[in-house]
Homo-oligomer: A and B are copies of this chain.
Amino acid sequence: MPNVHSGLTILGVHGLPEIAEGDDLGMLIARACEAQATPLADGDVLVVTQKIVSKAEGRVLDLSGVEPSARARDFAEAWEKDARAVEVVLREAVRVVRMENGVIITETRHGFVCANSGVDASNVGRGGEDCVVLLPLDPDASARRIRGALREANGADIAVIVSDTFGRPWREGAVNVAIGAAGVEPLLDYRGQADDDGRELRSTVIAVADEIASAAELAMGKLDRAPAAIMRGYPYRKSESGVRSVIRERGKDLFR
């Protein structure tokens, strides 16, 4: 039986310290994996939540210095939000896609369409009561840096995905998706391959990086304090194209 995956495994990475600006995430994660007796190995995909990546990169913003615009104030008043946080969401956006019902859906500089420009007020960390966490400036570059640090830490070839939790249209609930990737091809393209009947599969591209991010979330949980997870045993395709390649071009998008 070819292609029998005798078991993909997903392992949460626990025991990481509180992350602060300048921390070497790759090194800390490699250590945490060893401490829990699941050292990273060639072929693993490491999924790291955006929040600790952003913290390590200093993408934490103190709201006390933010002067909200009239637009932010109006929206915040109408929906009982923090006007300064709304202002930050608007500043992080290149375009507002929807701003109604208390929800702000924006397009970020990276091209992601998501709630609140990915700005997050939960789990900011000690002393961060008045802070928000912004998305990394270039999450593909973040993934490459962590990948490089892991290679240095233990010599293994580890693919890295930076994940975040995005809502979707039409369906309740958010799912983890990849916002950055290094060493793994995010899109698996079956086009041109024949199916079991010899019929050509015409339009099937699978976003495996997003599926890996979603799988990882099941081992991380929101309150489990496992801000990273290892996907082991998945025969991914190597590539440096990054999640940048997953963003649909505006002209091809029917919902932008």
Contacts and interface: CB of A to CB of B under 8 A. Distances in A.
Contact of A100 (B177, B224, B254): B254
Nearest to A243: B171
B246 A123 contact: no
Given A211-B214, A254-B101, A171 B247 contact: yes
A77 interface: no
Q: Give this chain's copy count.
A: 2
Given A101-B254, A170-B113, A246-B173, A218 B205 contact: no
Nearest to A199: B122
A137 interface: no
Nearest to A200: B122
Contact of A172 (B14, B128, B246): B246
A58 to B, nearest CB: 19
A171 B10 contact: no
Contact of A177 (B8, B105, B171): B171
A11 interface: yes
A14 B4 contact: yes
Given A4-B14, A223-B190, A254-B100, A207 B171 contact: yes
